[in-house]
Amino acid sequence: MTEIEESIAEESPDVAHDIPDIVIGRLPIYLRALMRMVEEGDKVTTSSQELGDRLGVSSAQIRKDLSLFGDFGKQGTGYHINYLVQQLQRILKLDREWPVAMVGAGFLGHALANYGGFKNRGFRVAWIFDNDPETVGQKIGGIMVRHVDGLERVLRREKVQIAMLAVPATAAQELADRLVASGVRAILTYAPISINVPEGVKVQYSDPVAQLQRMTFYLDV
Amino acid sequence: MTEIEESIAEESPDVAHDIPDIVIGRLPIYLRALMRMVEEGDKVTTSSQELGDRLGVSSAQIRKDLSLFGDFGKQGTGYHINYLVQQLQRILKLDREWPVAMVGAGFLGHALANYGGFKNRGFRVAWIFDNDPETVGQKIGGIMVRHVDGLERVLRREKVQIAMLAVPATAAQELADRLVASGVRAILTYAPISINVPEGVKVQYSDPVAQLQRMTFYLDV
DNA sequence: CACCAATCGTGTAACATTTCACAATTGTAG
DNA sequence: CTACAATTGTGAAATGTTACACGATTGGTG
Ligand SMILES: NC(=O)c1ccc[n+]([C@@H]2O[C@H](COP(=O)([O-])OP(=O)(O)OC[C@H]3O[C@@H](n4cnc5c(N)ncnc54)[C@H](O)[C@@H]3O)[C@@H](O)[C@H]2O)c1
Ligand SMILES: NC(=O)c1ccc[n+]([C@@H]2O[C@H](COP(=O)([O-])OP(=O)(O)OC[C@H]3O[C@@H](n4cnc5c(N)ncnc54)[C@H](O)[C@@H]3O)[C@@H](O)[C@H]2O)c1
């Protein structure tokens, strides 16, 4: 009975946090497709079947995933698109705008800082840091590039929780450490190297070469 | 007995293709870490334990993954780094240089075309296509941007199997169709939209926003 | 040359995820 | 008001993945 108590013990106010991470990873994909449906504007509801066909996943998977968070659909009708978008945004905590810090203002940093795709999807690049004297002081996408020396001070003051890392591989671990020490809890890194972070900090990787390498296995000759 | 014959029927000359895709996805990560060890140059061998510690995966997982392809290690000693790099490159068909076509020469296309990280990891951006008259004819990273009208002709002639797609979401599906029709079998796309391709064509997605959205779930407040 | 620490490869058990399949519900058309 | 087609949510079965744990082998040390 002690065991039962323990297993009940830790859960968030909203929904239990024993949701498989693999499910969480699919929700943004569902959300992306649903928002596109909203844009298309040609219908009010959709079904797990229709959504699954678009995304290449089974309708059962979509229903099961969503059912972990609540009963969002209606038998015979399906899901109300706007309502489901809202619910997914709430679940993923996207019903607000997260300020993001960008470290590294090279080629990639420039492209990302100018990228219009963050808006309306829950994020805003709010600070950019670099250590190159030539780059510091410039404006990119309307944001002044600050010297990386001030990183800790700014991030701690502003309580920044999310950062993107676009520095050379050699600098990535050190900067990840500094980000974590400054309170960052989620890092999206583009450096082609695995970084180590303490428990409780999330890391996502974006390495186009690794992604290509994952596909060549299946090619002939 | 017919069933047994059938199950034996399809396998590649080298290694059976019933390797889980999730394993294939980890091999580039192993390879990346091993190549870094080569660069560091401070040792000749490594162990599944050491590699696992670096990457945050269990040593057993690494051993099991590798054992699907052969016996590459030696008890008591571990794995010879250079040899394992070679074997992974062979398995992933990276013991050659794959020419890659890039479609879309905007902000992101520029960053990617100038990116030095493809070299030595098995790829070379060899063609760039765009439909903007201002952009066509320019050189990016030493490569002339061609008009997208010539895409089919060039890709078919050169037997290009891999492409990167960096065009607006609205154009992505149409261009994916054209790539597939031109013989491309592997697509890395940056457009924030799911694309549909026929059986046998691999797609990898890179959507930084989706990656960030996958992490906010775990943040507080 | 005997011992030992290090380490692999792997069968099996444990755990995780997906698929199946169906009762229940809904809205619509006759 | 009834019949029916569409569709959900979900328990159970099937499938897939990871972790455990150990025999076997290696190279080094005394
Ligand atoms: N360019 C691409 O298309 C691309 C694609 C995928 C991954 N990447 C990776 O992303 C990272 C950045 O790529 P890039 O092409 O923008 O490189 P880049 O050299 O153009 O930019 C790197 C930037 O980081 C800055 N920097 C270096 N050390 C720093 C430090 N200690 N503190 C703060 N800033 C520092 C540099 O001043 C520079 O502005 C690299 O790891 C690269 O491998 C790049
Ligand atoms: N910029 C970023 O950091 C970033 C990051 C992630 C994803 N993305 C995505 O990558 C894609 C490209 O982003 P971008 O910032 O480079 O946009 P961009 O507008 O700068 O570039 C798009 C390019 O595609 C070309 N194009 C448009 N239609 C075309 C067609 N039919 N045929 C050939 N070329 C065509 C345009 O001429 C332009 O050069 C977008 O889908 C964007 O959402 C961009």
Q: Residue A129 domain-assigned?
A: yes
Least CA distance to B28: which residue of chain A? A210
CB atoms within 10 A of CB B102: 25
A60 and A162, same domain (yes or no): no
Q: Tell me the nt nearest to A72, Cα to C1'.
A: D8
Contact (CB, 8 A) for A62 and A51: yes
- What's the pTM? 0.94
Mutation site, A46, A85, A161, A213, interface B, largest B CB count within 10 A: A213
Q: Residue A220 domain-assigned?
A: no
Q: Which of A91, A114, A132 is the last residue of a domain?
A: A91
Q: Whose CA is nearest the C1' atom of nucleotide C21? A: A60
CA of A110 to the centre of ligand 1 (A): 10
Does residue B7 sit at the A interface (CB-CB below 8 Å)? no
Closest to A186 measured CA to CA, from B108, B207, B220: B220
CATH number at residue B74: 1.10.10.10
pLDDT confidence tier of residue B19, bands split at 50, 70 and 90: very high
- Judge whether residue B208 has pLDDT over 50: yes
- Judge whether residue B125 has pLDDT over 90: yes
Residue A103 and residue A99: Cα distance in Å, rounded? 13
The stretch B73-98 carries a mean pLDDT of: 98
- pLDDT of A17 reads 66
Identify which of B27, B210, B216 has the shortest CB distance to residue A32. Answer: B210
**In the block, residue with structure tokens 């990787």:** A205
A134 and A43, same domain (yes or no): no
Q: Which of A70, A91, A112 is the last residue of a domain?
A: A91
- Judge whether residue A16 has pLDDT over 70: no
Residue A183 and residue A69: Cα distance in Å, rounded? 29
Tokens of B18: 């019933």
Distance B75 CA to C1 C1' (A): 21
- Lowest-confidence range among A6-10, B105-109, B118-122, B196-200? A6-10
B63 and B115, same domain (yes or no): no
Residue B5 and residue B181: Cα distance in Å, rounded? 34
Residue A188 and residue A197: Cα distance in Å, rounded? 12
Using CB distances shorter than 6 Å, the residues near ligand 1 are A 103-109, 129-132, 135, 148, 166-169, 171, 175, 190-192, 208; B 111-112, 115, 117
Q: List the 31-60 stretch of A: residues with Cβ below 8 A of B.
A: 31-33, 36, 54-56
Q: Which of B91, B115, B150 is the last residue of a domain?
A: B91
A215–B188: do the CB atoms touch at under 8 Å? yes
Domain count, chain B: 2
- The domain containing residue A29 runs over which residues? 3-91
Task: For chain B, count helices (H), then strands (E).
Answer: 9, 10
A40 and A113, same domain (yes or no): no
Per-residue pLDDT tens digits for A141-181 = 999 999 999 999 999 999 999 999 999 999 999 999 999 99
Distance B147 CA to D19 C1' (A): 53
A110–B114: do the CB atoms touch at under 8 Å? no
CB of B37 nearer than 7 A to strand C:
no
- Judge whether residue B132 has pLDDT over 80: yes
Q: Residue A219 domain-assigned?
A: no
A108 and A174, same domain (yes or no): yes
